[in-house]
Chains A and B, each alone.
Chain A
Amino acid sequence: MNKERNIGFQPVRPAGFQPAASFSRMKVFSGENLCWAHRLKAYVLARVLLFAAIATTFIAADWKIAEPGWRYEFPRDHHAHREFKTEWWYFTGNLFDADGHRFGYELTFFRHGIQRAADRDPNASRFIVDDLKFAHFAITDVGGQQFRFEQKTSRGAFGEAGFDDRQRLAWIDNWSLTSKSDGIFELTASGAAGAIHLDLRPAKPAVVHGENGVSVKGTGGASASHYYSIPRLETTGSLTVNGKTCALRGESWFDHEWSSSQLAKGQVGWDWFCLQWEDGAELMLYRMRLENGQRDSSSSGTWIAPDGTATHLRATDFQATPIASWKSKATAAEYPIGWRIVLPAQGLDFTIKAALEDQELKLGPITYWEGAIDANGRRDGKEIKARGYLELTGYAGQFGATLRAGR
């Protein structure tokens, strides 16, 4: 890995990231590789979660609003923030087995508040839920050209799902995220998509996005989120695909965000990138698309130098141009899975290519693409490489339509 110049810690500028992320996390799976039962369940959930997402539009008061001045403290802030309506723990990573075979994975836990825990009658029915709990799990077998995904959701009436018990930050059945005392995260999941059991050791400190501890969206100022990432975690563990288990090693990215805020108007979807450069730097970019096809000015990003200092990137600080696309046979959606991205201030000019074309999560009402990518380019004239993850939403017709209808 290259040694890069550190830019030093800087608050990241206001961004419209939160709603985008919120939508990106409300997704449902109905892969053909799942059995019919799962598909049926997925169908039901698709509707369930779609409206959880849309309901975000109408959030009433009572929930705490993300406000400037939040003092991040770890490991405290790894835990759940139940006074906020929406929260997620989001892991993606690129891993390799002993023979160099590459795998991508995604494991995400979502909490979507229904009622505040404080409002709960302590004697009320255990079936009354305080929050929606759901999780996504996907494995990309780059060598095997296979992409599998699965979703779980649970009422959690009997503790089979929840957030923040003594050890686990989040869990649903046998999918769990555990925070250990030595700062290591443990991820476990198994299901139709395969199985993972991973230990993740932060290689860098957490980076807070936004300004003054909040990622403010829009001019109103009321809508905002608290958002941080651990941009690089050394990852070891095992992965099972097609009944074969192998030991793996690689790097992961962890996002944690919580908020109670509203969506911006006129947005139809977004393109989200995270890249881990060989030289130890990381880049997160987020590009929100409007109904009229334009890029929203709240699009933003963060450049993280190898030493952990972060530079906030405004929409004007980078140009992202699609250069390749892939059309899904199943949904007829056309995804820009190849990009050219230029960050003049960082002297960066690179292209992005998907590790596998079909990393589409095929669903009833909401279909999106999320998968492992490679980046190749130059920084200050020097060749540079990165691996990361790309998320593309709002390309499958219904998503945008439903989204707009929801408003």
Chain B
Amino acid sequence: MLRYLRRHPLLGLLNILSVALGVAVYLATQIANHSANRAFAASVDLVAGKAELEITAPAGHLPETILPKVATAPGVSAATPLVQGFVSLRDFPGDYLEILGIDVFTNGLFRTFDPSNFDARGFDIQRWLGNPGSIAVSEEFVRQHGLKAGDKIRARVGGTNRELEIGFLLQKDETFDPHFTAMDIGWAQELFGRRGELSVIQLKLLNPREREITITALRQFLPKDVRVASPARRTEEVDKMLGGFQLNLTMMSLVSVLVGMFLIYNTVTASVVRRQHEIGILRSLGVTRSEIRNLFLGEAIVLGAIGSFLGLIGGLVLARVLVGAVSATISSLYVLVSVRGITLQPLSFALAWMIGIGSVILSAWFPAHAAARQDPVAALHGGARLERSVNPSFAWLISGALCIFLAAVFSWLALSIGPRWLSFGAAFFVLAGFSFLVPRVMFHFSKATGNLLRRLRPRRRRSNIENALAAANLSRALLRNSVTVAALAIAVAMTVGVSVMVFSFRKTVEAWINNTLIADLFVTPASNAVAGVSSFFPAPALAFLSNHPAVETIDTFRQVELPMGDTDISAAVIRGGEQRRLQFLRGDRRELMRRFHDEPCLFASESFASRHHLREGDLVELTTPDGPQAFAVAALFYDYTSDQGYVYLSAKNFARFWHDDRINSVAIYLKANHGADEVTKAFRSEFSREGQFAIFSNQSLRRRVFEIFDQTFAVTHVLMAIALFVAITGIFLSLTILITERQRELAILRAIGASAGQIRKILLSETAMLGALAAVVGTVSGICLSVVLTGVINRAFFGWTIHLAFPWQTLALTPIWILAAAIIAGVIPAWRASRMVLADNLRNE
């Protein structure tokens, strides 16, 4: 066996490579996902410290006056308050700090870090408590920005510029996110304009087993909408929220594995074919069938093991590339997370290894089994072929049809009953179905091309015998050629499918933005544009804008998380002054807006409705500080900003039920004949001389939306590129096999007078045909796949309506460059085949 490998190192190498790539992509995706989750969990842990329970309130509106009562509640052994917030940094554009306002008097039992003086000797409590802007930062932050003790940095928060002083270092046993800083809770309240308010009250319990009793006792006097839960809960929720997104990535990464499986099938089949003689001898010598099977399986497993091992290393390397893209996507779509490095998990390594080996065993099983079943006499005779049937069996056709039918069934199930992951089954069956159809397509193609060429021949002076031979060859090694084509077709299908999906998505979003993003200016405190919406819009600035003569109307925006049952949902509180902004699925706009303001009702985004199985008229119960309150779903609206979905509440209702009228940002609609510049200039000189506010024109916001959009699909593109690379490698591999296997046949051709050039021509034309077939089948199945991606997977996981649109240019170009790639991949094998030594290959004749 090893001898065989030594004689054909390229085969072995390619085999290893295809396994390695599949494993690497899978592992890298797992690592990137896991690292993002761990980074988030670490940031939660850093804040939560050793707390056993946390009291939080929606919109961070936890009145501080409840603290003494909480601290002395039965079952509570210690309590400490926290005020959290974000600032963006003027001196380091794009950078931000998460500031944790802590109470050093009570949080000694809770925190897992310690603020200390810069020389690490002790802690100047006087400066900590007395200096308004003194913060404790990580050593890494200090190093990154070349800061030293006492340096001042300029921060933006809530539409104002504030100065912070690098006063202390945060000491912690392990490294942590350098965005994390701490300061005294009192000054943190001042900094964030949150007098009287806390973000969290952390608790330790006398007896952790009586936590439920404690929670009940606390609920007696706490405001109705606060949440008492363990800090781990937040991590769990985010893990859950990211679950769909990450599952999608995982599934995409498995495509590479799938493509690799086809290739392995090919190589093992090739080696079985090549060694028929050897098999015959071995069988004659008394080697049993199962031993023959194990021989081939063993060989595949050795290669698979080496490939998987290399894949693990490759995965580690690739993970570093992917992790940035994954965390950027998560940060822009879900939750601010700063992934500083990759976190490894033994389990993902084990799983990746197993997937590598498993896929090898699975794909090597059939050819190995076929080898074992060979009749020794026939094998020795050399006439036996694995692909005995020149006609494709009907079983393939039926299997193909069945798969496509199953894809439809799974799609229906995923959308109507669930679970959602069945939609991946639908995608799988689309790919499998088309793969099964390949033999028949190829058979007919081969026959049709043959006929065509025959018919053409008489009219032409130059013989076209090479092409005819090539076409005939396709159906002679039908099965194996089909596998090659299928592998490439799958990669093409994925590329096409994803391209169509992304294109459709982009077109849909574009149309949606054109209809909804119609305000002339958008203004928000600068820190919100960097670190997520956390700062409030100051009232004077709002009044200034409202009263500006050029302003027609203003819409305000407030982002809050509100409790609905056991979960938190995202809500946007808007004035809704400008009615064109919302695009409803159904209903009369004027009437809906009236209800929106006057009745306790809300608008739900399409994805929100699908996630929570809501329809117009359904009631949603939200917990307000005064208790639960039912809101009717007045209408559903199109939205593509969040896969979790959100609801719109009117500012009027929010003020009424939550007693809160603070806002995060404003959208400004100008009167006709007034330019955005006029208002921008006036506002800037009054409130934003030093850039305290981020001011977006309609155009710049659009640009930003699409930046985020493209960033979101960055990961997708990386994964697709890899799948395609695997596939192209596959063509090269397959052709090499094809040629080595057919050396004898080619030698005969040479012997009977074919020139080296003709041999090359035969082979290249064969390659081109394979490439063309793969391109056609791939494009067609890719389009079907895109339907599944947009209509089924997207619907099941994200609930967006995406109008299918085709990037015709890309679609038209795909077959061309696949064909080109195939031909290029065939050049070397064809050249080698044309230069082979006749005698060696004819020895057997």
With A125-B189, A128-B187 in contact, do A155 and B105 touch (Cβ < 8 Å)? yes
With A115-B130, A125-B195 in contact, do A158 and B68 touch (Cβ < 8 Å)? yes
Interface segment out of the listed B117-125, B154-162, B532-540, B719-727: B117-125
B109 within 8 Å of A (CB atoms): yes
Interface segment out of the listed A2-10, A46-54, A190-198: A46-54
- Cβ of B189 and Cβ of A127 under 8 Å apart? yes
A129 within 8 Å of B (CB atoms): yes
With A44-B108, A405-B121 in contact, do A155 and B68 touch (Cβ < 8 Å)? no
Q: Which residues in A have their C-beta under 8 angstroms from that of B67?
A: 157-158
Q: In whole angstroms, what is the CA distance A34 to B185 when docked?
A: 28
Using CB atoms, name the residue of chain B closest to A123: B195
Q: Which of B109-161 contact A (CB under 8 A)?
A: 109, 116-117, 121-127, 129-130
- Cβ of B126 and Cβ of A55 under 8 Å apart? yes
Q: Size range of the interface on B?
A: 20 to 34
B106 within 8 Å of A (CB atoms): yes
- Cβ of A127 and Cβ of B124 under 8 Å apart? no
Q: In whole angstroms, what is the CA distance A47 to B471 when docked?
A: 85
- Cβ of B68 and Cβ of A160 under 8 Å apart? yes
- Cβ of A365 and Cβ of B122 under 8 Å apart? yes
Using CB atoms, name the residue of chain B closest to A42: B108
Q: Which residues in B have their C-beta under 8 angstroms from that of A117?
A: none
Interface centre among B65, B104, B105, B184 (most CB of A within 10 A): B105
Q: In whole angstroms, what is the CA distance A365 to B125 when docked?
A: 15
- Cβ of B125 and Cβ of A52 under 8 Å apart? yes
With A44-B108, A115-B130, A155-B103 in contact, do A132 and B125 touch (Cβ < 8 Å)? yes
What's the nearest-Cβ distance from chain B to residue A39, in Å? Answer: 10
Q: Which residues in A have their C-beta under 8 angstroms from that of B195?
A: 123-126
Q: Which residues in B have their C-beta under 8 angstroms from that of A44?
A: 104, 108
A351 within 8 Å of B (CB atoms): no
B163 within 8 Å of A (CB atoms): no
With A41-B109, A51-B123, A127-B186 in contact, do A114 and B129 touch (Cβ < 8 Å)? yes
- Cβ of A125 and Cβ of B190 under 8 Å apart? yes
Q: Which residues in B have their C-beta under 8 angstroms from that of A127?
A: 64, 81, 101, 103, 184-186, 189
With A55-B124, A128-B186, A132-B129 in contact, do A154 and B105 touch (Cβ < 8 Å)? yes
Q: In whole angstroms, what is the CA distance A237 to B101 when docked?
A: 43
What's the nearest-Cβ distance from chain B to residue A399, in Å? Answer: 12
Q: In whole angstroms, what is the CA distance A127 to B81 when docked?
A: 10
What's the nearest-Cβ distance from chain A to residue B134, in Å? Answer: 12
Q: Which residues in B have their C-beta under 8 angstroms from that of A126?
A: 64, 186, 195-196
Q: Which residues in B have their C-beta under 8 angstroms from that of A50?
A: 122
What's the nearest-Cβ distance from chain A to residue B548, in Å? Answer: 29
- Cβ of A402 and Cβ of B186 under 8 Å apart? no
Q: Annotate A299-329 by CB proximity to B: 1 below 8 A, 0 otherwise.
A: 0000000000000000000000000000000
A331 within 8 Å of B (CB atoms): no
Q: Which of A5-58 contact B (CB under 8 A)?
A: 37, 40-41, 43-45, 47-52, 54-55
Q: In whole angstroms, what is the CA distance A290 to B410 when docked?
A: 87
- Cβ of A51 and Cβ of B187 under 8 Å apart? no
- Cβ of B122 and Cβ of A51 under 8 Å apart? yes
A153 within 8 Å of B (CB atoms): yes
Q: In whole angstroms, what is the CA distance A287 to B121 when docked?
A: 29
Using CB atoms, name the residue of chain B closest to A58: B126
What's the nearest-Cβ distance from chain B to residue A22, in Å? Answer: 13
- Cβ of A47 and Cβ of B109 under 8 Å apart? no
What's the nearest-Cβ distance from chain B to residue A243, in Å? Answer: 20
Q: Which residues in B have their C-beta under 8 angstroms from that of A129?
A: 129, 186
- Cβ of A41 and Cβ of B108 under 8 Å apart? yes
Q: In whole angstroms, what is the CA distance A49 to B122 when docked?
A: 10
Q: Which residues in A have their C-beta under 8 angstroms from that of B108?
A: 40-41, 43-45
Q: Which residues in A have their C-beta under 8 angstroms from that of B187?
A: 125, 128
Q: Annotate A73-106 by CB proximity to B: 1 below 8 A, 0 otherwise.
A: 0000000000000000000000000000000000
Complex partner residue of A49 from B65, B81, B125, CB under 8 angstroms: B125
What's the nearest-Cβ distance from chain A to residue B108, in Å? Answer: 4
Q: Which residues in A have their C-beta under 8 angstroms from that of B68?
A: 158, 160
Q: Which residues in A have their C-beta under 8 angstroms from that of B78?
A: 37
Using CB atoms, name the residue of chain B closest to A405: B121
Using CB atoms, name the residue of chain A closest to B187: A128
Q: Size range of the interface on A?
A: 20 to 34
With A126-B64, A160-B68 in contact, do A48 and B106 touch (Cβ < 8 Å)? no
Q: Annotate B168-202 by CB proximity to A: 1 below 8 A, 0 otherwise.
A: 00000000000000001111011000011000000
What's the nearest-Cβ distance from chain A to residue B809, in Å? Answer: 60
What's the nearest-Cβ distance from chain B to residue A289, in Å? Answer: 22
Q: In whole angstroms, what is the CA distance A157 to B66 when docked?
A: 12
Interface centre among B77, B126, B130 (most CB of A within 10 A): B126
Interface centre among A44, A45, A154 (most CB of B within 10 A): A44
- Cβ of B109 and Cβ of A40 under 8 Å apart? yes
- Cβ of B186 and Cβ of A51 under 8 Å apart? no
What's the nearest-Cβ distance from chain A to residue B162, in Å? Answer: 15
Using CB atoms, name the residue of chain A closest to B68: A158
Q: In whole angstroms, what is the CA distance A47 to B129 when docked?
A: 14
Q: Which of A110-139 contact B (CB under 8 A)?
A: 112, 114-115, 123-129, 132
Q: Which residues in A have their C-beta under 8 angstroms from that of B196?
A: 125-126
Q: In whole angstroms, what is the CA distance A159 to B711 when docked?
A: 52
Q: Annotate B729-762 by CB proximity to A: 1 below 8 A, 0 otherwise.
A: 0000000000000000000000000000000000
Q: Which residues in B have their C-beta under 8 angstroms from that of A154?
A: 105
Q: Which residues in B have their C-beta under 8 angstroms from that of A155?
A: 103, 105-106
Q: Which residues in B have their C-beta under 8 angstroms from that of A128?
A: 129, 184, 186-187, 189-190
Q: Which residues in B have their C-beta under 8 angstroms from that of A112?
A: 126
What's the nearest-Cβ distance from chain A to residue B130, in Å? Answer: 4
Q: Which residues in B have their C-beta under 8 angstroms from that of A43?
A: 108
With A37-B109, A124-B195, A129-B186 in contact, do A51 and B126 touch (Cβ < 8 Å)? yes
- Cβ of A51 and Cβ of B125 under 8 Å apart? yes
What's the nearest-Cβ distance from chain B to residue A117, in Å? Answer: 13
What's the nearest-Cβ distance from chain A to residue B377, in Å? Answer: 83
Q: Which residues in A have their C-beta under 8 angstroms from that of B104?
A: 44, 48
What's the nearest-Cβ distance from chain A to residue B183, in Å? Answer: 11
Q: Which residues in A have their C-beta under 8 angstroms from that of B106?
A: 155
Q: In whole angstroms, what is the CA distance A54 to B126 when docked?
A: 10
What's the nearest-Cβ distance from chain B to residue A259, in Å? Answer: 16
Q: In whole angstroms, what is the CA distance A158 to B198 when docked?
A: 14
Q: Which of A153-167 contact B (CB under 8 A)?
A: 153-155, 157-158, 160
Q: In whole angstroms, what is the CA distance A299 to B109 when docked?
A: 41
Q: Which residues in A have their C-beta under 8 angstroms from that of B186?
A: 124-129, 157
Using CB atoms, name the residue of chain A closest to B103: A155
Using CB atoms, name the residue of chain A closest to B123: A47
What's the nearest-Cβ distance from chain A to residue B505, in Å? Answer: 46
Using CB atoms, name the residue of chain A closest to B197: A125
- Cβ of B109 and Cβ of A153 under 8 Å apart? no
With A125-B187, A126-B64, A127-B103 in contact, do A402 and B129 touch (Cβ < 8 Å)? no
Q: In whole angstroms, what is the CA distance A112 to B126 when docked?
A: 9
Give residues in B with beta carbon < 8 Å to A.
64-65, 67-68, 77-78, 81, 101, 103-106, 108-109, 116-117, 121-127, 129-130, 184-187, 189-190, 195-196
Other A-B pairs, 14, CB within 8 Å; known A37-B109, A129-B129: A47-B122, A51-B117, A51-B123, A52-B125, A55-B126, A114-B126, A124-B190, A127-B185, A127-B186, A127-B189, A129-B186, A132-B125, A157-B67, A160-B68
Give residues in A with beta carbon < 8 Å to B.
37, 40-41, 43-45, 47-52, 54-55, 112, 114-115, 123-129, 132, 153-155, 157-158, 160, 365, 402, 405
Name 29 A/B residue pairs within 8 A (Cβ), A-sorted: A40-B108, A40-B109, A41-B108, A48-B104, A49-B125, A51-B117, A51-B122, A52-B125, A54-B122, A54-B124, A55-B126, A55-B127, A114-B130, A124-B190, A125-B187, A125-B196, A126-B195, A127-B81, A127-B186, A128-B184, A128-B189, A132-B125, A155-B103, A155-B105, A155-B106, A157-B186, A158-B67, A158-B68, A365-B122
Question: 4 tightest CB-CB pairs across the interface, nearest first?
Answer: A127-B186, A128-B186, A125-B189, A44-B108
